[in-house]
Every structure is written in C-alpha cells, then in structure tokens.
Amino acid sequence: QLRLRTDLAHCHWMRGYVQAQNGDLVAAEAELRTARDMLAARRAALYAAQVEVELADVLRRLGRCEEAAELLSGLLELGDSHGAVHAG
C-alpha cells in the first residue's frame, strides 16, 4: 500500500513536470501540489522537497514570486544536514 501511494505521488510529480514543460502552468501547479501533499503525508521529505523546487519554478513562471520564494526559503532553512535536495 505504501509503495503504491508513493508511486502514485511520483506519477503526479511527473505529470506536473511535463505540463510545466508544455506551458500548462495551472495544471502543473495542481499536479505538483498533489504530489507534494502525498509525499509529505508519507514522510518522504527528500522527494517532497524536490517537488517543492519544481512547484516554486511553476509559481515563479505564473508571476507568484513571493509564494515561490516562501517555498524555497523553507528549503534553505533545512541547511546542508539533509544532503542535496536535487539528488535522486
């Protein structure tokens, strides 16, 4: 059950990524928020943080720079003790 939910969250993440690349930023935001919420609920902090980076980029592209900065600021507060956020 846990693995299935994590896989589903990754599907939402990838859908959001593809939609962002295709310029459908509103749909991308929805998919990335769903992925982030699912991963956070599963305590998959590293993956949730990676999704937040993607989400921040979408928000920036939507002109919501303050919201994007807020997301990234939260990640910066984690410090380097959590390793590289972009590592897969």
Classify residue 47: in a domain, yes or no. Answer: yes
Tokens of 8: 């589903």
- Whether the per-residue pLDDT at 87 is higher than 60: the answer is no
How does residue 37 score in pLDDT terms, banded at 50, 70 and 90?
Answer: very high
**What does pTM read for this prediction?**
0.82
Tokens of 81: 């003790």
DSSP letter at 87 equals -
- Whether the per-residue pLDDT at 88 is higher than 50: the answer is no
- Whether the per-residue pLDDT at 50 is higher than 60: the answer is yes
Structural domains counted in the chain? 1
Task: Find all residues with CB under 8 Å of 42, minimum gap 6, and list them.
Answer: 2, 5, 6, 9
Question: Domain range for residue 25?
Answer: 2-82
Classify residue 87: in a domain, yes or no. Answer: no
Classify residue 62: in a domain, yes or no. Answer: yes
d(CA 18, CA 53): 15
**Are 85 and 53 spatial neighbours (Cβ–Cβ below 8 Å)?**
yes
Polymer length in residues for the chain: 88
pLDDT number for residue 81: 57
Classify residue 54: in a domain, yes or no. Answer: yes
pLDDT number for residue 25: 98
The vertex-48 CA angle with 42 and 54, nearest 5°, equals: 150
CATH assignment of the domain containing 60? 1.25.40.10
